[in-house]
Amino acid sequence: MRAGNFELEPELEGFQARVREAVAELVAPQAREADEAGGFQRDVVEALAATGLPAWALDRGPLALSVFYEELGRADSSVRGFFTVQLGLVLTCLRKAGSPEAEDVAQVRKIGCYALTEPEAGSDVRSMKTRAEPANGGWVLNGEKHWITNGGVADLALVFAAADAGITCFLVSTDTPGLERTPMPGRELGHRASDHVHMKFRDVAAEPVGEVGGGYRMAMEALSHGRLGVASGAVGIHQACLDACVDFARTRRQFGQRIGDFGMIQGALADMKAELDASRLLARRAACSMDAQDLAVAKLYCCDAAVRAADQAILLHGARGYSSEYPVERYWRDAKGMQIYEGTAHIQRLIVARTLLGKPDA
């Protein structure tokens, strides 16, 4: 970003324009149908990968990825969620460990998933019950994971398990005997075109990724990238809400005039714009620093602001906003989920507060 005016450098501005064009052609047209059908669109992510744009963002670093995620979030949060897991979580771990699988994941020749969360271990990662034991010169896993994004369509899984030396990351091919994958019960509130599964491991052969006992640090470093993806995607939802509201306020007429001419509507639009600018700057600051507190602040504020924007967008659209005829109800459903995953809003507040307070006096 250019100092003083907070604008993107020309190279990144050009990249943003290319992503926006590709998203308009490949992603946006199928977003509503995919949401209503509730199915993962593998052809869409493969087509987007074939443009070379995800790889370009990877090579340029977190700020380019933030721009990429924002543009995806503006059109389809399920596709954005796929790439945040694929690039932000899975690829981060594989590259750090020097895994030969990294290039296939980067090019989306193989799909990966990040199996950390368990039924009794969400925010409290250290309480995970999935175990890794040495066996026959290798390792086997026993346990379960749930709400694993990309889990049902993945070719490989990064599985975090407790070993005697500490939490360790393992690589598992998803066709390995003993691995069972089933869709999560019920229907998701949002991100309905994402793939979420429950995974069970029964003596599943696995190989360590990185240092045995070093999985906790690896998981947290990957989550930093995941939080950037969520915060940036929330900015995209927020922008989409504002776009929809401005368009509606210009065209919808009541009492003989545009609803945009009413003071209360103007106030709502102004507040939405002010919060959007704050969110975008927080997300880009976090991308530039990759500091834990900056990421927590961005994840917290951007997601909460996106929910507020989507809530106001539904209200502004009136009865039309309450049905899938207009996209704002989908924006609300998708934004709500972003307050939960990659560390809930409560967890982000704890991270920020503990950073501010420091350790208690002895």
Q: Is 150 exposed, middle or buried (0-12, 13-18, 19+ CB in 10 A)?
A: buried
> DSSP character for 27?
I
Judged by DSSP in three states, 161 sits in: strand
| Distance in Å from the first CA to the final CA of the chain | 42
List Cβ neighbours of 240 (8 Å cut-off, separation of 6 or more): 73, 74, 75, 327, 331
Q: Which of 71, 118, 275, 342 is catalytic?
A: 342
User: CB within 8 A of 362, min separation 6: which ones?
Assistant: none
Cβ contacts of residue 308 below 8 Å, gap of 6+? 275
Inter-residue contact 111 to 150 (CB < 8 Å): yes
Q: With H, G, I as helix, E, B as strand and everything else as coil, classify residue 143.
A: strand
If you ran DSSP here, which 8-state letter would residue 118 be given?
B
Q: Which two tokens stand for residue 149?
A: 């994004």
Q: Is 212 helix (H, G, I), strand (E, B) or coil?
A: coil
Q: How far apart, in whole angstroms, are the C-alpha atoms of residue 125 and residue 333?
A: 26
DSSP letter (8 states) at residue 361: P
The number of residues in the chain equals: 362
- β-bridge pairing 166-173 and 196-208: antiparallel
- 3-state secondary structure (DSSP) of residue 340: coil
Catalytic annotation present for 133: no
Residues 65, 88: Cα–Cα separation, whole Å: 9
| Structure tokens belonging to residue 118 | 């368990």
Give the catalytic positions in this structure: 342
